[in-house]
Amino acid sequence: MKSVRVRQILLVFVLSLSCTAALVHSASRGPGWGELSYEPPAAGTYQLPVIMSATNGVVLKDDHSTANLFDLMSDRIVFLSFIFTRCSDVNGCPLANAVLYKVQSRINQRPELAKDVALLSISFDPEFDTPEIISALKKSFQRGVVDWEFLTTDNQSNLQPILDGYGQFAVRPHDEHGVQMDEYVHLLRVYLIDKKRHVRNIYSVSFLHPDILMNDLETLLLESQLE
């Protein structure tokens, strides 16, 4: 049964990437699915102020081992996303994964950047998103030299302090019969964290685009070189 469930989840995410061309014609799509409609500021021509401190926490890796978020971040710039595999909103988790996949591809074309960057995707559905599920997801998305970890937690008790620390809202609603639904109501957020573990940007649907993320990444890399 687990192998069937893994295949079903992978199919959803593979389809979320392969349907990009169709989404280009959708008026409700997020900008990250297509070309950016304006020219963003060049890297290094602007500053990214500190928004808040990053939050540590205990997470579960795809091999069932536990780790601290700060240890996974190490001395690197991090793009941190919160997702769940049952998400059906094209402008939600599938968009976050698609944009980070594009960022990963661009960094792979410039492998000298890879040692300074990490991608972390944490599930806020630990009951369903087991290490087996996130392991299959990791194998589906991770390519090249970029370190992209897909993570979950042992339980909600370990997850909640992480969500609270980042201000990540996620609620699992009930249907008209009082039964919890599989979906989560959540805000799409991807966090840019610098090497000193400060959050420097928080991307919503409107600003989650690989062009913007790459420019912000290079801006922080240039900043770190001057320190």
pLDDT tens figures, 105-121: 999 999 999 999 999 99
Checking if the pLDDT of 179 tops 70, the result is: no
- CB neighbours of residue 38 within 10 Å: 6
Checking if the pLDDT of 86 tops 50, the result is: yes
Sorted by where each begins, the domain ranges of the chain are 2-25+37-226
pTM: 0.86
pLDDT tens figures, 62-76: 999 999 999 999 999
Higher pLDDT residue, 144 or 22? 144
Distance between CA atoms of residues 134 and 128, nearest Å: 10
Distance between CA atoms of residues 92 and 63, nearest Å: 26
Per-residue confidence at 177, pLDDT binned at 50, 70, 90? Answer: low
Say which CATH architecture domain 2-25+37-226 belongs to.
Answer: 3-Layer(aba) Sandwich (3.40)
